[in-house]
Amino acid sequence: MAMSEFYGAFDETENMATLERAMELGITMLDTADLYGDGRNEELLGRFIAQTSHAPLIASKCGIVRTDEIMSDGNFKRERCGTPDYITASCDDSLRRLGIDVIDLYYLHRIDPNVPVEDSMGALAELKTAGKIRAIGLSEPTADELTRANTVAPVDAVQSEYSLWTRLVEDEVLPVIRDTGGTLVCYSPLGRGLLRKTGAPPKLDADDFRRTLPRFTQDSFDANAPLFDLLDEVAADAGVSVPQLMLIWLLDQGGDIVPIPGARKIAHLEQNAAAVDLSVDRAALDRLSAAFSPDAVVGARYTEGKAVKAG
């Protein structure tokens, strides 16, 4: 996602080098969506697939469409769409942009409140039967929506935001995933890069959407100082970086948890990948779990209405 939109300026040459290094490090899945860059992210991956000797698994999504309306922040308004005809057409468009015959994992990016989830799932099941996708996913469903979806066809993967900073999925959705044999794919496992390097939130480009997020304000940053202190302390004691510590904690939540940290720079990518082979003692992980309760984190993950636009 960050290679095409939402997180400031990007460079295609650097993106291609980062993708190639990901393959060398054994990362097997690349996650995209037709929303990201209005299809440009899928086209980027299509160019990468055509030139690399590796065969990555591809996950993509449909279900959020841009309208012609410009909002106050200068971005196009986005709406959810889960009609069967739209899903079928979107899959064909994604296959064309990616330059492949089948998408390994295809998600409905958000559940359309105006379309029964059973209808949307029926379209996804038909795509799987037709051999256009190999697995079905839903992004950010409620527990009820996920339960209903599984009555139509198995939901192989659920993608939701999950990190020390955002743990809402634990309460209701994760138990349903586990009851139905699915996998939780965690986007923003590093809290969208909410790390303390100075006494202020990360410096962001003018077009970086995080500038509008409540959790990235100075007030929230100051209020969360005790949590930053704990991250710094535990990471230093364990001899790992804070991003590595956050990934280690997430991987410790279960073998059915798959984090997908975004990285545009090779150095960040290599640091993230190394977390798989690192460990932190149980007492330290338990301290993090206890400290980072949802009530302890100050600042919502989105402004009202933003949840339809990202992730």
pLDDT means per 10 residues, the chain with 311 residues, are: 52 91 96 93 96 97 83 69 98 98 99 98 99 99 99 99 96 98 97 73 67 80 92 97 97 97 91 97 98 89 55 54
Find, among 155, 161, 162, 195, the residue nearest to 176 by Cα. 155
**Structural domains in the chain, sorted by start:** 12-308 (3.20.20.100)
Give me the pLDDT at residue 258, please: 97
CB atoms within 10 A of CB 259: 22
| 43: phi then psi, degrees, rounded to nearest 5 | -65, -40
- Give, to the nearest 10 degrees, the angle between helix 242-251 and helix 282-291: 90
Give me the pLDDT at residue 220, please: 86
Residue 293 burial class via C-beta count within 10 angstroms: exposed 0-12, middle 13-18, buried 19 and up: exposed
Beta bridge partners of 160: 186
Give me the pLDDT at residue 290, please: 98
Give me the pLDDT at residue 209, please: 65
Give me the pLDDT at residue 11, please: 81
Distance from C-alpha of 183 to C-alpha of 308, rounded to nearest angstrom: 22
Of the residues 36, 106, 187, 302, only one is catalytic, namely: 36
Q: Catalytic annotation on 187?
A: no
Q: Which residues of 39-76 are buried (b: 16+ CB within 10 A; e: fewer)?
A: bbbbbbbbbbbeeeeeebebbbbbbbbeeeeeeeeebe
Total-model pTM: 0.88
Distance from C-alpha of 7 to C-alpha of 9, rounded to nearest angstrom: 7
